[in-house]
Amino acid sequence: MSAVPRSFLVLGSGVLSARAGARLRRRRRGVPEQEAAYAGLMSQFSQARVWRDAGAEAPLAYERFRSRLPLCTHEQLAPHVARMRRGERDVLWPGACQVFAATSGTSTGVSYAVPATGALLDHYRRSSIDSMLWYASRVGSSAVFRGHQLFLGGSIKLAPIPSEGAAEAFEGEMSAALAYSLPPWAERHFIEPSTDIAQLNDFGQKVDAIVEKYSHADISALGGIPSWVLLLADALRARATRGKIRVPHLQGLWPKFECYLHGGEPITPHLDELRAGLGPTVNFHEVYAAAEGFVAAQDGDASAGLRLMTGAGLFFEFLPMEDFDAARLASLGAKAVPLSGVQTGVDYALIASTPAGFARLVLGDVVRFRSTDPHRIVYVGRTGLRLDAFGERVTESNVADTLVNVCRRNGWTIVNFHVAPLFLTSTTGKSRGRHEWWVELKPGTLTTPTGPVMAPELDVELRRLNHTYETLRARGVIEPPFVRLVMPGVFEHWLRHHGKWGGQSKMPRCSCDRVIAEELDSAVQFAKD
């Protein structure tokens, strides 16, 4: 297949995108596709010792599956994954596994290994291609396949896992597992950067190498986390600017550039800057993917939400957040519902059974359905990344939207931010406090605010977006917020210190504790000394 001329592949992409569009237009296909995914997974789980011992068999009615197998977390599955890393067979999935992908560890700071079984690699391959076909279908053109697609991810280098046995195994970031899953024709004709650059671990070196090689390349699509793509865009534009000749955006460098693929963090804090830096006619295409598998992708207007990838081999369940309790997940399995039981407007903790050998894994994401035919979702936040120290139930999405709306009204550009609870002394013994906002703004705005100027606006906006916060503010349980505007470099220091500079790493936007806030405070104090 790798010997097929590129022109044939470009022509074939038009046919495939038309077929993808026809499939997407079929009604009521989500539930049957999920039933097929469930049956396929059960036939495999019944051959794996962990799940067979838990009661998995094929066939198995869903109600029995739900009563026999408890909800689980990465931490609970880690000992079984460790056995697979040592070469043991038939543990969570039939056979042995040679490749392991690492999660990003955004919520807990801990990265877990995901077995990239042959079936999961097939899922990666099929879903990554489908997500691009969905893009071509929704814009009505396969022109994106006429250029190259540049992905700014983590290193694709796979490192050998030390083992006492004869079996070889390797581990790396999700970027490495995705690259490993690519068909030869895609790697040869479409995907950039080249292997020597993609394998670089140092993010700064990777950006410099991409700028050197691809400043005037035939790029039609660019993919990556928004904050890191902005760094690359600035570097590319700076390289292309000479004297009075200024390149305002990437479309000035890459005439075929039409698609920005993003996912992994809310795009709203960077939306205006991305539109200015990438180009006026660049289409944004969102893909919701994790090391555990592809969840959803954009198939229409962004405001409609992302189409759940119901036919890609993952089986999804949804636990209402009003029932969610991280301390007793094992007892909550019966409260989770399959796709046929979801409702619009309800916040759900996302649960997935996957060809990585994970059954009923709580992914840590919170989603909300915009529609149920077709099934489209929006990402609300992480179960572990929310403000709830005072019972306010403020989500990551609430926090991001609040800051974006305030900054957009005032012409302020966001670089980075984090929000944490700030506890106050209470004479009643009840939890009482306020939110502490750590915000870095881009220099050069016409009016640079101070914390006391920004705080009341954030308060008003968050009260508008979140009814529970509004109620607790009115009762005096939560005091007005406190804003710390930090100098450039504080967030960069935190990210570098934690090994999260570049690749698939993201800044946690909020937390129920003050761990990150105290570390940011230490960085500020260090900068002052």
Same domain, 134 and 203: yes
Q: How many CB atoms lie within 10 A of CB 380?
A: 21
Q: Is residue 302 part of a domain?
A: yes
The answer to whether the CB of 150 falls within 8 A of the CB of 210 is: yes
Same domain, 239 and 282: yes
Same domain, 321 and 275: yes
Q: Residue 504's closest CA among 173, 236, 127? A: 173
Q: Is residue 76 part of a domain?
A: yes
Same domain, 466 and 378: no
Q: Is residue 21 part of a domain?
A: yes
| Cα separation, 24 vs 11, whole angstroms | 21
Q: Is residue 30 part of a domain?
A: yes
The answer to whether the CB of 263 falls within 8 A of the CB of 289 is: yes
Q: In the listed set 361, 382, 403, which residue is the last one of a domain according to the structure?
A: 382
CATH number of the domain within which 472 lies: 3.30.300
What the block records as the tokens of 10 is 């470009």
The pLDDT value recorded for residue 110 is 77
Same domain, 73 and 57: yes
For 448, residues 6+ apart whose C-beta sits below 8 A from its C-beta are 412, 441
What the block records as the tokens of 293 is 């598998």
Kindly report, residue by residue over 313-342, the tens digit of the pLDDT.
999 999 999 999 988 998 999 999 999 999
Same domain, 360 and 303: yes
Could you give the angle at the alpha carbon of 89 between the alpha carbons of 83 and 91, nearest 5°? 60
Same domain, 208 and 220: yes
Residue 85's domain spans which residues?
6-382
Q: Residue 365's closest CA among 317, 404, 307? A: 317
Q: How many CB atoms lie within 10 A of CB 441?
A: 20
The pLDDT value recorded for residue 2 is 44
The pLDDT value recorded for residue 428 is 57
For 511, residues 6+ apart whose C-beta sits below 8 A from its C-beta are 384, 385, 387, 418, 419, 420, 517
Q: Is residue 167 part of a domain?
A: yes
The answer to whether the CB of 366 falls within 8 A of the CB of 381 is: yes
Q: How many CB atoms lie within 10 A of CB 43?
A: 15
| Cα separation, 417 vs 490, whole angstroms | 10
Q: Is residue 520 part of a domain?
A: yes
Same domain, 144 and 160: yes
| Cα separation, 474 vs 502, whole angstroms | 41
Q: What is the pTM of this model?
A: 0.89
Q: Is residue 1 part of a domain?
A: no
DSSP state of 225: -
For 230, residues 6+ apart whose C-beta sits below 8 A from its C-beta are 270, 273, 274, 277
The answer to whether the CB of 486 falls within 8 A of the CB of 436 is: no
Q: In the listed set 362, 382, 402, which residue is the last one of a domain according to the structure?
A: 382
Q: How far is CA 115 from CA 104, 198, 248, 334, in A?
A: 15, 22, 43, 27
| Cα separation, 468 vs 201, whole angstroms | 43
Count up the domains in the chain and report the number.
2
Q: How far is CA 134 from CA 162, 199, 360, in A?
A: 40, 28, 27
Same domain, 357 and 308: yes
Listed as ranges, residues in the chain with pLDDT below 70 are 1-11, 105-109, 163-167, 242-244, 426-431, 444-446, 526-529
The pLDDT value recorded for residue 15 is 83
Residue type, 421: P
Same domain, 84 and 163: yes
Q: Is residue 464 part of a domain?
A: yes
Same domain, 338 and 435: no
Q: In the listed set 339, 366, 382, which residue is the last one of a domain according to the structure?
A: 382
The answer to whether the CB of 214 falls within 8 A of the CB of 220 is: no
How far is residue 58 CA from its own chain's centroid? 33
| Cα separation, 342 vs 189, whole angstroms | 41
Same domain, 262 and 375: yes
